[in-house]
Amino acid sequence: MAGDIGEGDAVVIGQGDVVGAAGQPQAGRVGRPALGRRALLLGALRGLVVFAAIAVAGVALGLLGHWFGSHALPTIAVGFNPEDVALDPAAHRAYVTGGNTVTVIDTRNNAVATTVRVGLDPIGVALDPAMHRAYVTSGNAVAVIDTSGNVLVAAIAMRPSPAGVALDPAAHRAYVAHAFSNSVSVLDTDRNAVVTVAAVGAPNSLGADPGSVAVDSAAHRAYIAHFYGASVSVLDTDLDAAIATIPVGAFPTGVAVDPAAHRAYVANSGGDSVSVLDTRRNVVVATIPVGSKPLAVAVNSATHRVYVTNHLGNSVSVLEGGTGN
């Protein structure tokens, strides 16, 4: 494949190819560049994502133990430095990023079904089960996996440092936060192309820092947590433009939305708290103390309960959500 890949270009590639940081397909493992200041900061952010992904998985396993009784659960070997996990319950599959690959796990027997090689240092993964697609941020690209056959079908060239990714399946859009660049790329998932780049957040002495993303499809909103900015940007997904910036606690790492309750929950790793946002007014309505260094947050929209993993506390905080908190 000749020539460089421009930002927003979709490149169809063969199974087993690796997309390097410059967008060029390469065979085998890609060498790591020398670490600079920004790379070290990104490494710290990635470390938080690692702990958050592991913590969310721990919540899921703990709930399974509660529902089905206590018993030994298997440990499954995956790629080096696993960063994120996404589930497709109907297909009995879990997708785990790490080690320049996505490991596909058969959740019926807790065994590795296959491994898909993607770009350099994959971080986030999001699934669209209806369209049989997985979207993985890696290097300076988003890798697209056809989950019906678990093969890599495209790589969408991006601006540097793509991190968190979230989908709006109804609108056929994906939202990719770029650490250190104060921006979110909006992807058309039908065409595998970048349609626009939205500016979010405000610069600070450590650079821009959007990381986690959550989407409320019904309200046409996306919420982006800024780790160093201590804030959450609200993106109008009809306009693809930021309409509000909400101050939250120190070093927010995770964000989740409860659409029916009109609430968003932000884990503040530096403040040992969760900020509760009223998504109709875009304001903080409560700050709830939790355990030490909360990283990830998940919402059960049916019960409006909120689960928060506390990394240094070795615990999970359970909040009564809804409008009462």
**What stretch of H or E contains 40?**
helix 37-68
CB 229 within 8 A of CB 201: yes
Q: Which domain holds residue 54?
A: 10-25+36-205
Whether 307 maps to a domain, the answer reads no
Whether 283 maps to a domain, the answer reads no
pLDDT value of position 24: 35
| Dist CA 270 CA 311 (whole Å) | 11
pLDDT value of position 204: 55
Whether 314 maps to a domain, the answer reads no
Residue entry with tokens 């018993």:
71
| Dist CA 252 CA 248 (whole Å) | 7
pLDDT value of position 259: 95
The reply to whether the predicted model has a pTM over 0.85 is no
pLDDT in tens, the chain (325 residues): 434 445 554 444 433 333 333 333 333 333 333 344 444 445 545 555 544 444 444 444 444 444 444 455 678 888 888 888 899 999 999 999 988 999 999 999 999 999 999 988 899 999 999 999 999 999 899 999 999 999 999 999 998 889 999 999 999 999 999 987 889 999 999 999 999 999 887 665 444 578 889 999 999 999 999 988 899 999 999 999 999 999 999 999 899 999 999 999 999 999 999 999 999 999 999 999 999 999 888 899 889 999 998 988 888 899 988 765 5
| Dist CA 96 CA 114 (whole Å) | 11
Task: Domain count for the chain, please give it.
Answer: 1
Whether 142 maps to a domain, the answer reads yes
Radius of gyration, alpha carbons of the chain: 19
pLDDT value of position 324: 57
pLDDT value of position 323: 67
Structure tokens at 220: 């046409």
SS3 of residue 260 by DSSP? helix
Exposed/middle/buried for residue 278 (C-beta within 10 Å: 0-12, 13-18, 19+): middle
Whether 42 maps to a domain, the answer reads yes
pLDDT value of position 38: 47
Question: For residue 155, what is the domain's CATH number?
Answer: 2.130.10.10
Nearest to 154 by CA among 166, 163, 164, 145: 145
Whether 228 maps to a domain, the answer reads no
Whether 310 maps to a domain, the answer reads no
CB 192 within 8 A of CB 209: no
